[in-house]
Structure 1
Amino acid sequence: MTKSIMLVGVGGQGTILASKLLTIGLMEAGYDVKMSEIHGMSQRGGSVSSQVRYSEDNVYSPVIEIGGADMIVSFEKMEALRYLKYLKPEGKVVVNNYRLNSVSTLVGKFEYKEEEIDSELKRLNAKIIDAAKKAEELGNAKVMNVILLGSLVKSMKLEKIDWEDIIRKNVKEKFIDLNIKAFRVGMDLVEEISKATV
């Protein structure tokens, strides 16, 4: 059975790197994987989405249809709502508790309605992750994406894959230990949330 994951965010947040690590890990675990990226002015703070589909059988299309995503991982709060139409009724949402004005909000095309966003995320029973804050605590804001990757892996029950090895092989040497720590933090955050909601 094919599983579909959508990673969304704002350009510069590391969404594509997280998707690539996810894709490599799934491929090394023997899954057939298809990945597609959509950059909307990603270099200038535009909306970015990446779609990853995997299965033990063949995956024929990299594109997730409306209502077809098992999970949406959003690196920024408002971006989660922008892509909600892709979520299955029983799908899961993991959201970084982080506000970053995209080009659309900065030019006044969209209004950032934080209260409405928060109440919608609550209604969806989204797992809200303080990835930005945890990344700062680790000493490097850029590992926020790997924290979110860890949260995704835990939420989708993909822990059996050797993610630490994937990180070692695909991250610059001086950042390996930091990224492995960040990945573990992400997994722990989901566990804490799950325990708190039981």
Structure 2
Amino acid sequence: MEFNILICGVGGQGTILASYILGNAALKEGYKVRLGEVHGMAQRGGSVVSHVRMGDEVYGSVIPQGKANIIMAFEPLEGLRNISYLKKDGVTILNTEKINPISVSLGECDYPSIEEIIS
């Protein structure tokens, strides 16, 4: 058995903390766990992705594309950016509260609507 959860958001939302909590819970249940992290800008507001892999035998800390059972997106645009990790029958849990990237704040582009992101 193998189960993969990808948690994504922006710096300051608790993305890494959430992965540690899930990983520790899985360890306490007797599963093998691997955690991987990808940090964007080294400040609040930068993209952050955590990979949580658990199961009887787990190799590598990064979830392969198309293999995440669950994507937990703490920010909508980050969920869209990482959707390629989701399995065909996977589940996405999406927080709909937007955090504008710098390019949107500077007026260089528009933030897509939640409807556009979901579709």
Task: Normalising by structure 2, report the TM-score.
Answer: 0.90
For residues 12 and 42 of structure 1, the distance between their equivalents in structure 2, rounded to whole angstroms, comes to 11
Q: For residue 64 of structure 2, what is the aligned residue in structure 1?
A: 65
Q: For residue 51 of structure 1, what is the aligned residue in structure 2?
A: 51
1:42 Cα shift?
A: 4.6
In 1, are the aligned partners of 2:8 and 2:78 still within 8 Å (CA)? yes
Larger-Rg structure:
1
Letter in 1 for 2:97: Y
Task: Tell me the secondary structure at the aligned position of residue 44 of structure 1.
Answer: coil
Q: For residue 92 of structure 1, what is the aligned residue in structure 2?
A: 91
Higher strand fraction (1 or 2): 2
Q: For residue 6 of structure 1, what is the aligned residue in structure 2?
A: 6
Task: State the percentage of identical aligned residues.
Answer: 45
Q: For residue 22 of structure 2, what is the aligned residue in structure 1?
A: 22
- Residues 107 and 41 of structure 1: CA distance in aligned 2, closer, same or farther (over 3 Å): farther
In 2, are the aligned partners of 1:47 and 1:102 still within 8 Å (CA)? no
1:49 Cα shift?
A: 0.4
Higher helix fraction (1 or 2): 1
For residues 12 and 2 of structure 1, the distance between their equivalents in structure 2, rounded to whole angstroms, comes to 29
| Greater relative contact order structure (CA < 8 Å, 6+ sep) | 2
Letter in 1 for 2:91: K
For residues 87 and 6 of structure 2, the distance between their equivalents in structure 1, rounded to whole angstroms, comes to 11
Query: How many residues are paired up?
Result: 119
User: Which sections of structure 1, spanning at least 5 residues, go unmatched?
Assistant: 124-198
Report 1:136-147 matches (<5 A). none
Alignment deviations for residues 134-154 of structure 1 (CA, whole Å, 9 cap, x no partner): xxxxxxxxxxxxxxxxxxxxx
Task: Tell me the secondary structure at the aligned position of residue 43 of structure 1.
Answer: coil
For residues 109 and 64 of structure 1, the distance between their equivalents in structure 2, rounded to whole angstroms, comes to 32
Task: Normalising by structure 1, report the TM-score.
Answer: 0.56
Report 1:142-181 matches (<5 A). none
